[in-house]
């Protein structure tokens, strides 16, 4: 029985730099593109895993890290949407 716990969870500590890394990777690989490619999705996944390798395993579904990608035009309209690691995608 646990009566008290004080945890420092890496996801909480790494959330801001992880978001910044994903934004940098997405901006670098997706600028000027009209569709999301497998290599773009892989690059974003690598950025996430670099900061929190446990997040991938803790949130996986049947051995896959589920991710949803959306690409927006300058007018904020979705121009492409892809899913990776989701059942049925």
Q: In this structure, what DSSP letter does residue 76 have?
A: S
Q: Model's pTM, two decimal places?
A: 0.68
Measured between alpha carbons, how far is 48 from 17 in angstroms, rounded to an integer? Answer: 10
19-52 CB burial, b ≥16 within 10 A, e <16: eebbeebbeebbeeeeebeeebbebbbebbeebb
* Beta strand segments in the chain, E: 67-72, 78-84
What tens digit of pLDDT does each residue of 23-69 get? 999 889 887 888 999 888 888 888 887 876 666 555 554 446 678 89
What residue spans define the domains of the chain? Answer: 10-84
CA distances from 58 to 5, 15, 24, 52 (A): 20, 15, 24, 10
């Amino acid at each position: 029985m646990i009566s008290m716990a004080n945890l420092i969870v890496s996801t909480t500590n790494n959330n801001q730099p992880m978001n910044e890394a994903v934004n940098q990777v997405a901006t670098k690989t997706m600028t000027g593109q009209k569709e999301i490619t497998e290599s773009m999705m892989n690059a974003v996944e690598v950025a996430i895993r670099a900061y929190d390798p446990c997040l991938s395993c803790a949130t996986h579904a049947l051995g896959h890290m589920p991710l949803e990608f959306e690409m927006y035009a300058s007018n904020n309209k979705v121009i492409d949407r892809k899913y990776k690691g989701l059942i049925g995608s």
